[in-house]
Amino acid sequence: MHSIATIAAIVDQHAEDAAFLWLRRRREIDGSILDETDIGRIDQRLDANIEGLMAAGKAGWDAAQARFTDYAEPGELFALGTLALHWGDADLVAIAIDAAASLGEAGLSSLSAAVARTPREKLRPFVAKWLDTRDAPQRCLGLSALWHHRVDPGPRLHDLANHSDARVRSRAVRLAGALKRRDLLPAVLAGLDGETPKERLTAALACCLLGETRSAHPVVDKIVLTEPGLAEAAIEIRLLTTATKAGKGWLQKHLEQPALRGLATASVGLFGDRAVMPWLIEKMREPELAGAAGVALRDLFEVDFGDTDLFVVDPAVIGKDFAHLDDSSLPVADRVEAW
């Protein structure tokens, strides 16, 4: 990190924009509105602001740190962690890790995102240290680095997958699934009885990746029915790991359940079967299902819908029955039908 001549206002703006853009990216990446091209544009702007902070050297770090002091939020921590890791400065990395502690799981998630945007060679000096420490959050960070960069830690993953801390254990199980480590299947199966629904869902996905869908699906099905906050992810896992015919039958049952009708409708597009379009257009005429039908439409067609007039940002345009909705983008059934 070098100290160079800078314009303070510009550097401060880089720090603010980097935090904002990362938060927006995190919100939109799993959303239904922006496609890969749109996310790519956000990435370009995010990278430009990070590069601006790096080019500013010490002034860039000071701006990012001051921003976090004033606004101790995940986006600000992401910028702080990204700078520290890219510079490879152990003291600055330690500052970022200490800052993350105040944000709990959100802080760990922010640093994990910073790790994901850091080249593997720059992480190498830190990962072994993180995995060897007794500090659970740092072990989680080390496992996140291995997962993001798909690096197999070898035999030591066994101990991590059986760790006493659920956070460490869950991340190790996730990595075991991603790396197809069938030798760790006993630990992955044990995760199906984990302490929290999130841990159980992580283990279920790992089981599916290891070919053990028969063991995983009952756990996924229960989460769909009992955990509203995880139901969307659970439905996606279930459909993507189930044969098409059986998956359609499973989804049909959930379309008939009022509490799950919206999520189930949004998942219809995962099958890639455009024969469902007439039914989907009819759902677009129902205020409570229009948003979900729009999500399914986006999954069915690899189209930049921003270049069409099929979606509107003002629900009132569709009709008075839709005016109360706060969705940021809704499909217009008549336009979709004509399209």
Proportion of the chain in helix, strand, coil states, percent, rounded to 5: 75, 0, 25
Residue where one domain finishes, among candidates 76, 95, 118:
118
Indicate whether 282 pLDDT > 90. yes
Q: What confidence tens digit (pLDDT) does each residue in 214-248 have? A: 999 999 999 999 999 999 999 999 999 999 999 99
pLDDT at 306: 76
Give the lowest-confidence range in 33-37, 133-137, 298-302, 312-316: 33-37
Side chain identity at 78, as an amino acid letter? F
Share of the chain above pLDDT 90, in %: 80
* Host H or E run for residue 331: strand 330-331
Asked if residue 160 is part of any domain, the answer here is no
State how far Cα 209 lies from the chain centre. Answer: 18
Instruction: Name the DSSP class of 163.
Output: -
- The answer as to whether 81 is a domain residue is yes
With a cut of 90, say whether residue 319 has pLDDT above it: no
> Rounded to the nearest 10 degrees, how much is the dihedral formed by the CA atoms of 319, 323, 327, 330?
0
Q: Which of these three, 85, 118, 151, is where a domain ends?
A: 118
Supply the pLDDT for residue 252: 94
Residues 191-212 as b/e (b if ≥16 CB within 10 A, e otherwise) read bbebeebbbbbbbbbbbbbbeb
Kindly state the average pLDDT of the residues 261-282: 94
Is residue 302 in some structural domain?
A: yes
**For residues 125 and 80, what is the distance between their CA atoms, to the nearest angstrom?**
18
Give domain status of residue 267, yes or no: yes
The residue written with tokens 């959100």 in the block is 106
225: Cβ contacts below 8 Å, ≥ 6 apart: 231, 260
Dmax of the chain from CA atoms?
A: 64
- The pLDDT, as a whole number, for residue 327 is 64
Residue 316, pLDDT score = 79
Q: Domain ends where: 72, 100, 118? A: 118
The predicted structure's pLDDT at residue 216: 98
Does the pLDDT at position 5 exceed 50? no
* List of residues 6+ apart from 58 with CB closer than 8 A: 1, 2, 3
Residue 4 has pLDDT above 60, yes or no: no
CA dist 257 → 63, 251, 260 (Å):
51, 10, 6
Asked if residue 297 is part of any domain, the answer here is yes
CA 333 to chain centre: 30
pLDDT digits (tens, 9 = 90+) for 108-139: 999 999 999 999 999 999 999 999 999 999 99
Do 203 and 191 touch, CB atoms closer than 8 A? yes
**If you average pLDDT over residues 55-75, what whole number do you get?**
95
Structural domain boundaries enclosing 262: 257-339
pLDDT of residue 31: 66
- For residue 72, tell me if it sits in a domain: yes
Place of tokens 């597009």: 269
pLDDT of residue 309: 86
pLDDT in tens, 134-160: 999 999 999 999 999 999 999 999 999
Taking CA atoms, 219 is separated from 8, 58, 168, 184, 226, in Å, by 53, 50, 21, 19, 11
Strand partners, 331: 311
pTM of the predicted protein model: 0.86
Do residues 188 and 203 touch, judged by C-beta distance below 8 A? yes
State the average pLDDT over residues 86-107. 95
Contacts of 191 (CB under 8 A, 6+ apart): 169, 170, 173, 199, 200, 202, 203, 206
Task: Give the span between the Cα atoms of 226 and 328, in whole angstroms.
Answer: 28
- Residue given tokens 């990204």 in the structure block: 82
pLDDT over 80 (residue 2) = no
Distance from C-alpha of 108 to C-alpha of 101, rounded to nearest angstrom: 8
Looking at residue 37, its pLDDT comes to 79
CA distances from 33 to 29, 46, 51, 78, 303 (A): 9, 19, 27, 24, 12
Asked whether residue 17 is domain-assigned, the answer is yes
* pLDDT, averaged across the chain: 92
Residues contacting 46, CB < 8 A, separation 6+: 18, 21, 22, 25
- Residue 187, domain member (yes or no): no
CA distances from 324 to 265, 316, 318 (A): 20, 8, 11
pLDDT of 107 over the 60 cut? yes
Report residue 35's pLDDT band, with 50, 70 and 90 as the boundaries: confident
pLDDT surpassing 80 at residue 72: yes
In the chain, how many domains are there? 2
